[in-house]
Amino acid sequence: MSMRPEPTLKELQRYERAQRARIHNGQAGADRPARHPKRRVSFGIGQFAVGTVVWTIVFPLPAVIFIIDDRIEYDGGLSVIGIPLFLLVLFGPPLAVAILVGGLLLRRIRNQGIHIAVIAGTAAATAALILWLLPHDTAHQPGYWWTALTAGAAAACGRLAVCGFTRITDPPPSGVGAQNDAEDRARLG
């Protein structure tokens, strides 16, 4: 019976890093499934909140400008506050869900320009769907389409605001940890 010295903590940590790198690179053993080594684009809930705040400011802005600029019918009442709040309550929750789902589907795409374009298109399409489901007459239809385009532009501004906060995680090179693997197995048994 041979007496092997116990491995040190540093050796165990090095072995664990090599095992994680091997699993991440798709070289897992039969007992563990391999992870797919693709990149991920992500940011946290704080950045989603920043994008939401930017969208909340930008989206009702054209409505406020139109109400104030319309000198014939604007009477100085609470419509400057009420109409933007109505727009935010009507469009906010469905657009937040649609943008979140669109963002989750885009996690593997690295190009931030594609993210901005897809989020803008998703928001505009969702807003158009909401407006299509509402009862309306044909006289107000051009205003509805401008509202949908404004929702898309505001979502693009919100996504553009958080481009600097995104974390892009690339897979490590395929040889990380493999060169010391035979030594680690021999030493740790």
Residue-number span of the structural domain to which 98 is assigned: 44-169
Query: Is 146 a member of any domain?
Result: yes
Query: Is 177 a member of any domain?
Result: no
pLDDT value of position 69: 61
Query: Is 36 a member of any domain?
Result: no
Question: Distance of CA 30 to CAs 19, 152, 180, 189, Å?
Answer: 14, 47, 20, 18
Q: Name every residue whose Cβ is closer than 8 Å to that of residue 135 and which is 6 or more positions away in sequence.
A: none
Give whichever of 23-27, 35-39, 94-98, 105-109 has the largest mean pLDDT.
94-98
Question: Distance of CA 126 to CAs 11, 63, 94, 113, 146, Å?
Answer: 54, 19, 7, 20, 13
Query: Is 53 a member of any domain?
Result: yes
pLDDT value of position 122: 93
Q: Tell me which long-range contacts 100-103 makes (C-beta under 8 A, separation of at least 24).
A: 100/48, 103/48
Residue 11: closest CA among 159, 184, 177, 156: 184
**66 or 17: which carries more pLDDT confidence?**
17
- Tokens describing residue 167: 């974390």
Contact 59, 170 (CB under 8 A): no
Work out the percent of the chain whose per-residue pLDDT is above 90: 13
Residue type at 79 in one-letter notation: S
pTM of the predicted structure, to 2 decimals:
0.63
| Total of domains in the chain | 1
